[in-house]
Amino acid sequence: MIRRPIAAAAALLAMVLAPTVFAAQYIINDRHTQVTFTYTHMGFSHISGRLTQPSGHFEFDPAAPANSSIDVDLPMSSLSFGIPALDNDLKGESFLDVEKFPTAHFKSNKVTVLGKDKLAVAGDLTIHGVTQPVVFDVTINGIGPHPMYKVPAVGFDASATIKRSDFGVGGMLKAATDEVQLHITMEAQQAAAH
């Protein structure tokens, strides 16, 4: 008669005391993270530019990647094709209007594990003041201690295709494709313990 309450109490105590695994906070390494975007120009060339200098929050759980999340900003002023005239065109009022919309933003709302080192990261992407749902296909490149910083680290590549017209950037669609391929490569480390 007494054994059942004791067993129930023991099970409850075990649940309370069991270690809970949480996603750890990682710092995005802005020196080794960039977004590359590519579009086709008049069917003749594939032009690529990049965005750098990310900032934001990234939480990652190596044991359960589905518990991970990211909330990141990219300054549109960092946009560069390496061609000043093209940079100025894309940053101008006719396209991205960087002065009025200085930041691109992505916030995840769901991470799905697709297989070994493969994830689908769904979230909201804001460009040019317009927010649209986007799903990134993610490959985890590596997880482990960083050889330089001596802290846990992770790196991944992510890709998605968007339509610029969905974000209110629909100028010159006959010259440059509406579809833009996004590719992100990112490295992040946990903060060193003090």
pLDDT digits (tens, 9 = 90+) for 4-42: 444 444 444 444 333 345 689 999 999 999 999 999 999
User: What separation in angstroms does the CA of 90 have from each of 26, 102, 173, 180?
Assistant: 32, 13, 13, 13
Name the DSSP letter for residue 9: H
Please give the pLDDT value at position 115: 95
Confidence label for 184 from pLDDT (cuts 50, 70 and 90): very high
Please give the pLDDT value at position 75: 97
Q: Is 93 exposed, middle or buried (0-12, 13-18, 19+ CB in 10 A)?
A: exposed
Mean pLDDT of 177-184: 97
What per-residue string of b and e applies to 140-176 under the rule 16 or more CB within 10 Å gives b? beeeeebeeeeebbbbbebebebebebbebebeeeeb
Residue that wins the pLDDT comparison between 14 and 78 = 78
Q: Give the C-alpha separation, 153 to 109, whole Å.
A: 22
Residue by residue, DSSP assigns 104-133 as: EEEEEEEEEEEETTEEEEEEEEEETTEEEE
Q: Over the Cα atoms of the chain, what is R_g? A: 21
Query: What class has domain 23-190?
Result: mainly beta
- pLDDT of residue 69 exceeding 90: yes
How confident is the prediction for the chain on average, in pLDDT? 89
Please give the pLDDT value at position 191: 80
Cβ count near 138 (within 10 Å): 24
CB 74 within 8 A of CB 102: no
Q: Give the C-alpha separation, 93 to 7, whole Å.
A: 69
- pLDDT of residue 2 exceeding 50: no
* Element holding 153 (H helix, E strand): strand 152-163
> The tokens 């490569």 sit on which residue?
185
- Tens of pLDDT along 79-135? 999 999 999 999 999 899 999 999 999 999 999 999 999 999 999 999 999 999 999
Rounded percentage of the chain residues whose pLDDT exceeds 90 = 81
